[in-house]
Amino acid sequence: MHELTKAPPPRRPDLHIATEGEFVGWRTWIRDSFEAHVGPFWHRIEADGSVRSAFRVEKKHLNGSGNVHGGCYMAFADYSLFAIATHVLDSRAVTTNFACEFLDAAREGELIECTGEVTRAGGSLIFLRGKMTSGDRVLLTFSGTIKRMKRKALPQPNA
């Protein structure tokens, strides 16, 4: 467990809550080593039930021009898809489709946030859309589809 987080109830042992720093009370998942490497990315459930994701831009997030790398935007937007889906997602899932429009650049030190909505949650597919901002500037709009994964039975020993 990370020294800045605590584990939530046992239903989601991979979900951790920040206990100090700028994002105290915000949540993150620790099971994804890529997101842990490029993040940290955070999310919280607002009073109205909506979900907000955020991260603070560090030097490691920048491209050669000093702007946030497009791949970082996309990784954060993908993280945000799952955060936005938190109310309708109760099992493992994968992203099956992702589309985005790059609209503006962000620089080191900026707070980047994502908000969005589930547009449809079916039996196996969840459709979402979102918007990434820094202050009043829209940086990226995106949409995606998440597929719920069925739990596969473990093979029986000596079967």
Do the domain assignments include residue 130? yes
The DSSP string of 82-118 is: HHHGGGT--S-EEEEEEEEEE----BTT-EEEEEEEE
**Under 8 Å between Cβ of 28 and 18:** yes
Per DSSP, 157 falls in state T
Q: Rounded mean pLDDT of the chain?
A: 88
Give the residue-averaged pLDDT of 78-94. Answer: 91
Confidence of residue 3 (pLDDT cuts 50, 70, 90): very low
Helix (H, G, I), strand (E, B) or coil at 137: strand
Q: So what's the pLDDT on residue 11? A: 54
Domain membership flag for residue 68: yes
Would you say residue 107 has pLDDT above 90?
yes
Tell me what pLDDT residue 77 has: 98
Mean pLDDT of 107-119: 97
Q: What is the pLDDT of residue 29?
A: 83
pLDDT at 2: 44
CATH, residue 27:
3.10.129.10
The model carries a pTM of 0.85
State the total domains in the chain.
Answer: 1
Residue 41, domain extent: 15-148
Task: Tell whether 48 is covered by a domain.
Answer: yes
In a domain, 5, yes or no: no
